[in-house]
Each structure stands twice: as structure tokens, then as C-alpha cells.
Amino acid sequence: MEPSSPRKPHLSSLPLDSENKATEFHPFSTSPPHMLAFHLAWLSLFSCFFSTFSIPPLIPIMRQNLNLSAADVGAAGTAAFVGSIFSRLAMGPVCDLVGPRIASAALSLITAPIVLATAFISSPTSFILVRFLIGFCLANFVANQFWMSSLFSTSVVGLANGFAAGWANMGAGVAQLTMPLLYSFVKSFNVPENTAWRVIFVVPATFQAITAIMVLIYGKELPCKDSVKVSNKPKESFLRLLFNGLMNYRGWILGLIYGCCFGVEMTMDNIVAQYFYYRFGVNLQVAGTIAACFGLTNWFARPMGGVVSDQMAKLFGVRGRLWGLWAVLTVAGLLCVLMGRANSVGGSIGVMCMFSVFVQAASGLTFGIVPFVSKRSLGVISGMTGSGGTVGAVVTQMLLFSGDKFSTQTSISVMGLMMIICTLPISLIYFPQWGGMFCTPNETSIDEEDYSLLV
């Protein structure tokens, strides 16, 4: 699976394999086309996360102006995640058809006006509807990971996926930090409270549209496709690709696992500011800053997961990637349990920061495995896994954080227990050519063509 003869054609400053995928990854380089596409991809997804999570830190203010009940807030949080489930599942096949660049930019441009429409909501119903529709833009994540997997070789794909998604996910943390500050800034000009929070939504909407246009103008997909080795087998239909992806049990397990890491992360982004605001009595700006700490650790945590995945693969092969994912996600679950039991502001913040590092690293480790599941249905598998993340967010939001059935701290601890239990199916993932957590590879070798058709 590793590239055989790195080369440096004129089309890139990076060494490439036979498929023109980069065999090295330099996150602080803007070298076209690979590294430039990397920066455009994460920045575009960053804007989508910023848009989606620009509402939660303002909910204490919006509740007063819109007369929202606790049930309305919970339903809106669930709606935001429901909106991204089917869009993520659909985004995978769309990427297979038109490519990740077009798919990403089109989705961002379509959803940017919906973000702006937040300024015009006037009732609980319109609040829930807008959150549902904004959730669609999170499907950009699937295009992001598909793009990285098509640009970077298997030796660095975990690292590339981790950095691209990790830096993008910081958009949630930046939104938690900046939206309360923007609100305070606008209000300082004697703007009425009910107007101040509406005006600032022009910022995420404009940002999202600009990044989408940049992707269209400057982004490139896999270069020189004509030079890529062509399979002797006939090209398969869209429905066949979709069927093969959906029939791959590994994709379903990875979807479950991703629901237990990224799904939990999105749930925390949705409730953590309110948690500190109501439980410990901190003001809106402090609550937003604390919540931002959770999201901003993505700057290094998720990429670190990609690094761990690639390093474990160098030492133990794909089996190492599986063991690494299980260990990191289990620790994340334990820290989540502990966070719900912490009774002081300082203790809660400290455990939350450690928890954020491990749960985000687990997301990076998950997508360090995705590219190995099926070459021909990569988009479908990426969509299934990404959708699993939002399904996990919906389930945890509905079961644990909707209404007042449980206290928030109790719900956080229960969520940690769910994470620990749901790590067990990782042991069921088996690759004939690489093995599984407890199983060695099949003695019969599988060549590259067989791998591309793996079901």
C-alpha cells in the first residue's frame, strides 16, 4: 500500500506516488496544488463550523428575546445535527460524482444565505428551522476528508485528515469566543439587545461565502488524472458504488465509533457554554471563553490523532491504527465521566480540556482508518462515517440533553459511559490483508486491484 517510487514532477514541489498523491505533508506550506488545496479545504470547513456554532453561545440572550423554552433549545440543538445527517450521507456519493471541490463550494454557497437568515427569526419554530437548515453545511466535512484522501498518500493520509479536520473544527471554538464579543461590541453603540445579536450574523454568513468562492477559484483536485494508472475493469455505476459502500460493515462500525467521538464533541460544543453559565454562574463572555477552550484544542488534538494513527501503522500496520483508536477513545470516555462529577469551576475546566484533547484525537484516529476500507467507494464510506458523527450527536442530545430529565452534569457522565461501551465494536473490524485487533492477516495476499474493489 505504501508508495513505491516517490517522484517530483513539475506539477508539485512535494514528492508524489504513482497516483500523483503527495507522500509528504507540510502543514505550514502553501505549495500548489496539494498544500494549497489543504489550506482551502480546512478554511472552508472552518467557516461552516463557525456558522453552525455561532448560535449556541448567544442562546441565553436569544431565549429572552424569542421566549424559548428549555424544550425549544434542546429541539433546536437536535435539529442542527439532524440537518447534517442526510446531507453528510449524500455528500459522499456527490464527491464521487463531481469531486470534493465543487461539492464543498456549492454546499457553502447554498447554506450561507440560511446563516444570514438567523437575523430574521422571530419565533421558536423559525429558530428550530434555521438551526436545522444551517446543519446542512456541516456536510462540507465529508468533502474535506474525501479531498485529503485523494491528495495524500496512505503514508501521511492520517496526518493530512487530522490537520484538515482539526484546524477546521476550531471554527466551533472561535465562534464560542468571538460571537459574545461581537455582540458586546455592537451593543456598546447603544444598539438594542434584540437588534445587536441579529446584526452580527452577517459575519459568519459572509465568511462562509468568501471561503467557498476561494475554493472554486484557487482549489485543485488530484492533478494530472490522465497519468493515473487506469484499471482494466470497467467503471462502475453510481448505484453500484453506493451499494458496495453501504454493504461494507466496516463503514457502519466506523460510523458508530465516530458518533462516540465527533458526535460527542459536537454535543459538547452545543451545551458547554450553557453548562458553565447555568451551573457555575459565570457571565456570558466567560462561559463563551471556557467553551472556546474545548473547541480550540482541535488546533493540535485532532492532528495529533492523525500522527498517532500513522505512527502506529508504521510500527504495527493497520492493526496499530485500530488499537490506537480504541485506547484513545476509552480514555476520552473516562475523562467525560470525570468531568460530569467535577464540582468546581477550575476542576471542571481542567478535566474538560483533557477530555477535549482525547475525544478530538479519537476523531483523527477514526479517519486515519477510513481510507483503507474501500478505494472504489471512498466517498460513500466517508459519508457513512461522517453521518455517524451527527447521528451520535442527535442521539446524545435527544437522550441526555433535551428537557430536564437529567441534570447536565449527570448527562455528561452517562455520555462518557456510552463512549466506553461503544468502543468495543472496533475489535470486530478485520481486513484480510492487514488483520484486526486480535486477528492476524489472511495468508493469501491481496493485490492493489483487489484492494480497490474491497467490500
Question: 125 falls in which pLDDT band (50, 70, 90)?
Answer: very high
Residues 270, 163, single domain; the answer is no
Residues 195, 251, single domain; the answer is no
Residues 209, 301, single domain; the answer is no
C-alpha cell at 353: 480540556
For residue 446, being part of any structural domain is answered with no
Residue 10 is predicted with a pLDDT of 43
Residue 444 is predicted with a pLDDT of 61
3-state SS track over the chain: CCCCCCECCCCCCCCECCCCCECCCCCCCCCCCHHHHHHHHHHHHHHHHHHHCCCHHHHHHHHHHHCCCHHHHHHHHHHHHHHHHHHHHHHHHHHHHHCHHHHHHHHHHHHHHHHHHHHHCCCHHHHHHHHHHHHHHHHHHHHHHHHHHHHECCCCHHHHHHHHHHHHHHHHHHHHHHHHHHHHHHHCCCCCHHHHHHHCCHHHHHHHHHHHHHHHHHCCCCCCHHHCCCCCCCCCCHHHHHHHHHCCHHHHHHHHHHHHHHHHHHHHHHHHHHHHHHHCCCCHHHHHHHHHHHHHHHHCHHHHHHHHHHHHHHHHCHHHHHHHHHHHHHHHHHHHHHHHHCCCHHHHHHHHHHHHHHHHHHHHHHCCCHHHCCCCCHHHHHHHHHHHHHHHHHHHHHHHCCCCCCCHHHHHHHHHHHHHHHCHHHHHCEECCCEECCCCCCCCCCCHHHHHCCC
pTM score of the predicted model = 0.77
For residue 448, being part of any structural domain is answered with no
Question: 273 falls in which pLDDT band (50, 70, 90)?
Answer: confident
Question: What is the DSSP pairing of strand 430-431 with strand 435-436?
Answer: antiparallel
Residues 268, 387, single domain; the answer is yes
Residues 77, 192, single domain; the answer is yes
Residue 7 is predicted with a pLDDT of 45
Cα of 435 vs its chain's centroid, Å: 27
CA distance 95 to 43: 18
For residue 6, being part of any structural domain is answered with no
Residues 138, 250, single domain; the answer is no
Residue 386 is predicted with a pLDDT of 83
Question: 96 falls in which pLDDT band (50, 70, 90)?
Answer: confident
Residues 278, 215, single domain; the answer is no
326-370 pLDDT per residue, tens: 999 999 999 999 999 999 999 999 999 999 999 999 999 998 899
Please indicate whether residue 178 or residue 169 has the higher confidence score (pLDDT).
Answer: 178
For residue 391, being part of any structural domain is answered with yes
Question: 4 falls in which pLDDT band (50, 70, 90)?
Answer: very low
> Domain residues for 43?
29-222
Q: Tell me how crowded residue 171 is: count the other CB atoms within 10 A of its CB.
A: 28
374-431 pLDDT per residue, tens: 877 777 888 889 889 888 988 898 889 877 778 889 999 999 999 999 999 999 999 9
For residue 251, being part of any structural domain is answered with yes
For residue 193, being part of any structural domain is answered with yes
CA distance 39 to 45: 10
Residue 454 is predicted with a pLDDT of 46
Residues 195, 99, single domain; the answer is yes
**In sequence order, what E strands does 299-385 have?**
none
Residues 62, 147, single domain; the answer is yes
How confident is the model over 17-32, as a mean pLDDT? Answer: 91
Residue 237 is predicted with a pLDDT of 65
Residue 226 is predicted with a pLDDT of 37
| Final residue of a structural domain among 194, 222, 250 | 222
Question: 222 falls in which pLDDT band (50, 70, 90)?
Answer: low
CA nearest to 173, candidates 54, 41, 44, 306: 54
Residues 401, 299, single domain; the answer is yes
What region, left, alpha or beta, does residue 24 occupy, with left being phi > 0 and alpha being psi -120 to 50 degrees?
beta
Q: What rounded mean pLDDT belongs to the chain?
A: 87
Is the confidence at residue 230, as pLDDT, over 80?
A: no
CA distance 84 to 79: 9
Residue 228 is predicted with a pLDDT of 40
Question: 240 falls in which pLDDT band (50, 70, 90)?
Answer: confident
Please indicate whether residue 162 or residue 430 has the higher confidence score (pLDDT).
Answer: 430
Residues 249, 102, single domain; the answer is no
Is the confidence at residue 173, as pLDDT, over 80?
A: yes
Residues 334, 411, single domain; the answer is yes
DSSP state of 406: S
For residue 412, being part of any structural domain is answered with yes
Percent of the chain at pLDDT > 70 equals: 90
Question: 224 falls in which pLDDT band (50, 70, 90)?
Answer: very low
The domain total for the chain is: 2
Please indicate whether residue 204 or residue 221 has the higher confidence score (pLDDT).
Answer: 204
How confident is the model over 252-260, as a mean pLDDT? Answer: 95
For residue 10, being part of any structural domain is answered with no
CATH of the domain at 123: 1.20.1250.20
Residue 79 is predicted with a pLDDT of 87
